[in-house]
Structure 1
Amino acid sequence: MFKLFKVTLYLLLVASSLDLHGQNVKYQTDKHVVNQQERMVFKQWNRKKFTPTRGFLSLNYQYWLTWGLHPNYPKTDLRPLSVVGPQSRRLLMVAAMRSTEEAYKLHADTLRNTALSETANYAGIASQTDPLWQLYYKKEFQDLLDFNQADPFEGLEPQVKDYLEQGGSGDWYRQESQMLRERLEAARTTNLDRGSRIIAYHRMLGEYRKLLAIWDTKRQRATLYLSIKDKVKELQESTTVAKATLGKSDLQIADDILSRAKL
């Protein structure tokens, strides 16, 4: 049994030593192959390293056996990254395509920005965000925009209001204000050039201020007319009383006064 163990151990040692010797491989390199590999990739082109060479008086038989059937092959630069190599052409084409793509992208971005700017200038839906409208015209037209909720007779006495309503001034003011309000809404919602829209705002603001001035004048004149009318009526009543008292005795005058007091 012990002898069998020794024999087995010996065989294992021999096998391991043979395996170690078998792994010591010596790589054989051929300079011709190496030169060809360098010629095909990145290193600088050098015809002197193109082997086998002609030799003395071109008597090297290896050269003729190798390059006799295709003598132009050693003269051709086959590096992919050479000046006219396929990889260099591909890189140049990629660079040209990238430059063209960037030019198209810049052109497309310019068109997009121009379209957005034109949309903001022309679209009626964007007129609400116009800075000039927000800062000035919206405040000036606020009473006109809220005309349906506002009372045009605010601050007037009832008799003045009735006089304006009966004379048709109230209906005239409502109609003119409604027409102006509709024109303003059309200018705000219609697709229109921003400059034309601002000019329309300016013209309608002048018309609106003129309308307010006329309406204020009508209110003042109505108040003045009714005030004068009341004064004239009082004067007429006092004149009538004075005429009625002429030619009466003191007793009749006293009876008239007492009768009016009772009433």
Structure 2
Amino acid sequence: MKKPFLLLFLCLLSTLLWSQKKITDKHITYQQERMVFKQWDADKFTPKPGFLGLNPDYWITWALHPNYPKTDLRPLGPLGPQTQRLMLAAAMQNTDNLYKLHADTLRNTALSEASNYSSALSFADPLWLMYYRNEFEGLLNQADADMLAGLSLAEQKYIISVGLFDWYREESSALLERLEIARSTTLDRGSRIMAYHRMLSEFRKLSASWETKKSRAKTYLSIRSSVQKLRAGEVQRPASPKSDIQIANDILKKSKL
């Protein structure tokens, strides 16, 4: 009973030892090197043809695959599938970058155009902040008391009574309304600046006309006061050294000359 058992044990042991033997087939090794990392070298395809091509192993191995040694099948070869996938991925990435650049350009252009047309940003326009806001200060913060500043009570009453004050206030209100419309309307920045320029010219003309009317009001009231005093006899007329006839004769003589 012991001998059969011992023989069986030895058979199993030999089988295990044989199964752990390392296989070092150079043909498999060459193929692994070719497919993974080394150059596709046709000279390392084994078995070789032998003398005058009479090696039967060569014909058994390569007779049905004559073009296999000449075709580079490495995944990372110059034309390998993995190389093609990498090139395709790089091309797609480049295309994505171009699309992104185009989208960013469109976005920047849209933002620029929006800021150029939007009325929401008109208050932050550099030209408005540095120039036009100061020039329109008298119109934007205008009050009735400021319109009559520098005038006496009699002059204020006169200007109000003849309608000059109402005229100037209506013109100023109309101009201010147009200015606010230009600031709050969706408009091209160039057109908005040109509107500012035109209205500033009108505001300066209106202000100059208003100052002229106030000055003339002072002159008119002064003349009217003098006339009233003359009519009332409060002021004596200066005596003329010549009579009216003498003055007329002098004028005629000068005209003949």
| TM value normalised by structure 1 | 0.76
SS of the residue corresponding to residue 170 of structure 1 reads helix
SS of the residue corresponding to residue 209 of structure 1 reads helix
Q: Which of 36, 44, 56 is the aligned partner of 1:41?
A: 36
- State how far apart, in whole Å, the 2-side matches of 1:213 and 1:194 are: 29
- 1:205 maps to 200
Note the aligned Cα RMSD (angstroms). Answer: 2.3
Please report how far the alpha carbon of residue 204 of structure 1 lies from its aligned counterpart in structure 2 after TM superposition. 0.7
- State how far apart, in whole Å, the 2-side matches of 1:149 and 1:236 are: 36
Aligned residues: 219
In structure 2, stretches of 5+ residues that fail to align are 1-16, 238-257
- 2:247 maps to none
Letter in 2 for 1:104: Y
- 2:119 maps to 124
- State how far apart, in whole Å, the 1-side matches of 2:127 and 2:158 are: 40
2:214 is the counterpart of 1:214: no
SS of the residue corresponding to residue 146 of structure 2 reads coil
- What do residues 54-109 of structure 1 show as CA deviations (whole Å, max 9, x unaligned)? 22233323333333443433332110121211011111111211221121122112
Please report how far the alpha carbon of residue 148 of structure 1 lies from its aligned counterpart in structure 2 after TM superposition. 4.8
In structure 1, stretches of 5+ residues that fail to align are 1-21, 243-263
- Stretches (4+) displaced over 6 A: none
- 1:106 maps to 101
Q: Which of 81, 84, 87 is the aligned partner of 2:79?
A: 84
2:181 is the counterpart of 1:181: no
Segment of structure 1 superposing worse, 144-153 or 117-126: 144-153
> Percent identity, aligned pairs only?
58
Letter in 2 for 1:134: L
- State how far apart, in whole Å, the 2-side matches of 1:181 and 1:206 are: 13
Please report how far the alpha carbon of residue 144 of structure 1 lies from its aligned counterpart in structure 2 after TM superposition. 0.8
2:186 is the counterpart of 1:191: yes
Q: Which of 142, 145, 151 is the aligned partner of 2:146?
A: 151
Relative to structure 1, is the Cα distance of residues 150 and 136 closer, same or farther in structure 2, using a 3 angstrom cutoff?
farther
Relative to structure 1, is the Cα distance of residues 239 and 153 closer, same or farther in structure 2, using a 3 angstrom cutoff?
closer
| TM value normalised by structure 2 | 0.78
